[in-house]
Amino acid sequence: MRGRDEIVASMCPQVYGLFYIKLAVLLVLISGVARSDESGLRVRGEAHMLLVGDPGTAKSQFLKYAAKLVPRSVLTTGIGSTSAGLTVTAVKDGPEWQLEAGALVLADRGLCCIDEFGNIREAEKSTILEAMEQQSISVAKAGIVCKLNARCSVLAAMNPKGKYDVHSSLAVNTALSTPLLSRFDLVLVLLDTHDEQWDAHVSSFLLGSRDGEEAGLGSDGEQDVWEFDRLQAYLAFVKTAFQPETTPASEQVLTRYYQLQRQRDTLNAARTTIRLLESLIRLAQAHARLMFRNKVLLADAVIAVVLMESTMLSASILGAIDTLHTTFPEDSDLFYAELESLVLRRLDMAHLGGGSQVV
C-alpha cells in the first residue's frame, strides 16, 4: 500500500492532499475490464466520474492533468459544447453531406474531460446518455444512418446549483437528471467548509514554506513522487497488461455491500440499481491493475467500497467522508488494516479479514 500511495501522490502533485480524489481519478484512468457474451452484448469496462464542488477546489486542475496523462484525450467545456460538439454533426460540403465527430467520438479508446458540465443544456445532456452506457452513438442525420464508437471514460466537473444542501439529493443539488447521474461510477462532492487548520496547511503548501508531512505526502515528503513520464508509462502498461478476475472473497464483499445499499438507501434509490454493482466491480478491477496483479483480492474490494462510500451519495456503513480534507496517511499499511477491519465489521464479514491480502 505504501508503493500505491507514492503513485497516488504523483497524481497532480501541485494540489495539496485530496487523497481519495487522486486515488479515484487514477482508478478512472485505468478503468476495469470490458466483457462481451456470445450474443455480442458488451458491458463497458470504462469508468466515469463526476466531480461536484465549490469554486476553488481544484476540479479543473484534475481534468487538465488527467488529459495530459492519457495519450488519447479530449478536454472540452460545457459552455462551448453543443449536442453536436459532444457527439456528431452533419455538415454540408458542396453537394454532399459529411459527418464531423464530436468530443466523445474523438476520445474513443481514451478519455473525455468535460469541465463546467452543469452548463450543458438539458436537450444536449440527453445526447450523451447512449454514449456513456452503450459506448456508441447512433446517427441519423441528412440521410446518413450509422453507429459510431465512443468507448471512452468520461471525467466531468461542475459546480452545484447554489449552495450545496447536504440534506437534499444529488439530483436536486446538481440539477442533473437521474438517468445521467446513474451512469457515473463515482460522484464525488467537494465542499469548501471553513477549517482553520486545513487553510493553514494549504497556505503553507502554496507559499512553499512546508516540509514533507505538511504537504500531505506522508513522512518522506516529495522525494518519492514519480516523474510525469514514469507515471504515464505505468498507467498505460497496467491498463493493457492485466485483465483482473474476481476472487470469491472480493465477490462476497461487493455483493454484500450492494445488497445493503439496496436495503438502506431511500434518498437516492435511483442510484442503487444494478449499475452500482457494475461500478464496484470496475473500481475493484482498476485497483487490482494499479496494484500490478491479475486477481481482484479482498483489498481491492474494500477500496472500491470505501470510494463508493466517499461519494456522499450512498454513505451507509462508514458515514459521510469529507473528501476535500483528506491527507495522505503516514503509515499506509496500518491505515488500510484499520479501514479493512471497519468495513468488514460493518458488513458482518469480519471472518474474511486477516491482513494477508495486502501486497
Is residue 302 left, alpha or beta, with left meaning phi > 0 and alpha meaning psi from -120 to 50?
alpha
- DSSP character string of 3-50: HHHHHHHTSSTTS---HHHHHHHHHHHH----EE-TT--EE-----EE
Q: So what's the pLDDT on residue 358?
A: 47
Q: How is the beta sheet containing 186-190 ordered, strand by strand?
A: 73-77, 111-115, 153-158, 49-53, 186-190
Question: DSSP state, 227?
Answer: P
Is-contact 269 37, C-beta < 8 A? no
**What is the spatial distance between Cα 285 and Cα 300, in angstroms, rounded to a whole number?**
7
C-alpha cell of residue 173: 443539488
Q: Are strands 88-93 and 96-101 parallel, antiparallel or unpaired?
A: antiparallel
How far apart CA 34 and CA 149 sit, in angstroms, is 14
Which residue from 274, 259, 224 is spatially nearest to 347, judged by alpha carbons?
A: 259
Report the distance separating Cα 270 and Cα 219, nearest Å: 42
pTM, two decimal places: 0.88
pLDDT for res 303 = 92
* β-strands 144-149, 88-93 pairing: unpaired
Residue with cell 469496462: 45
Strands (E), the chain: 35-36, 42-43, 49-53, 73-77, 88-93, 96-101, 111-115, 136-141, 144-149, 153-158, 186-190, 245-246, 295-296
Amino acid at 172: V
pLDDT of residue 315: 56
Residues recorded for the chain: 359
Question: What does the alpha-carbon distance between residue 259 and residue 338 come to, in Å, rounded to a whole number?
Answer: 23
> 80: burial class by Cβ within 10 Å (0-12, 13-18, 19+)?
exposed
Read off the amino acid at residue 164.
Y
pLDDT by 10-residue block (mean), the chain, 359 residues: 86 86 92 83 88 87 91 84 70 84 88 88 74 86 86 91 81 84 88 80 74 44 73 91 90 90 66 85 93 91 89 62 77 86 86 58
Helix axes 228-241, 59-69, angle to 10 degrees: 70
Can you read off the three cell numbers belonging to residue 49? Answer: 466520474
Residue 143 bridge partners (DSSP): none
CA distance 29 to 32: 9
Residues 120, 132 contacting (CB under 8 angstroms): no
pLDDT at site 234? 92
Neighbours of 64 (CB within 10 A): 14
